[in-house]
Structure 1
Amino acid sequence: MGKLKLGPLEDDKPVKISVELPAALHRDLIAYAEILGRESGQAAEPSKLVAPMIARFMATDRGFLKAKRAASNGSS
């Protein structure tokens, strides 16, 4: 089995939002949490995975990073 992209979860003060997920995506999120839990040896709550997954996605999205840099350079 390959290595999952999501690593250890940080303990940070959360900001609460509400998100609706399609049922299939929710099932996959539960499965991901179960696999991550087996690989890491610690239980992973599916809802706790959403923020690190979004952060990982945004950190690896080259188009977003380029636009973010351009926006911050333009506002200085």
Structure 2
Amino acid sequence: MADLKLGKLPDRTPVKLTITITPDLQSSLQAYASVYEAAYGVEEPVIDLIPAMLTAFLESDRAFNQSRAAAARAVK
């Protein structure tokens, strides 16, 4: 097998997740979508913004990332 620089791609099969949110959160998400549209000139539905918002949140959470890295090291 060739020694490729690009490793095998991870599973990219979409996973559908259904949640229930409060009316206040729904209002905030709609407001965020409006601010996003004003900033970038592109209207994106809230449903398309949420995955990116969750990714950004998880990537910015230092304690979570440190814990996750420690767990990965412990498994090796």
Q: Which bin holds the TM-score, normalised by the shorter protein? A: 0.7 to 0.9
Kindly report which structure 2 residues correspond to 1:17-56, keeping only aligned pairs within 5 A, or say none.
17-56=17-56
Q: Normalization by structure 2: what TM-score?
A: 0.78
Please give the root-mean-square deviation of Cα atoms over the aligned residues, in Å.
1.4
Provide structure 1 residue ranges, at least 5 long, that are not aligned to the other structure. 1-11
Q: Which has the larger radius of gyration?
A: 2
C-alpha separation between the residues in 2 aligned to 1:15 and 1:48?
Answer: 14
**Equivalent residues, number:** 65
Q: Normalization by structure 1: what TM-score?
A: 0.78
Q: Which has the higher contact order (CA 8 A, sep 6+)?
A: 1
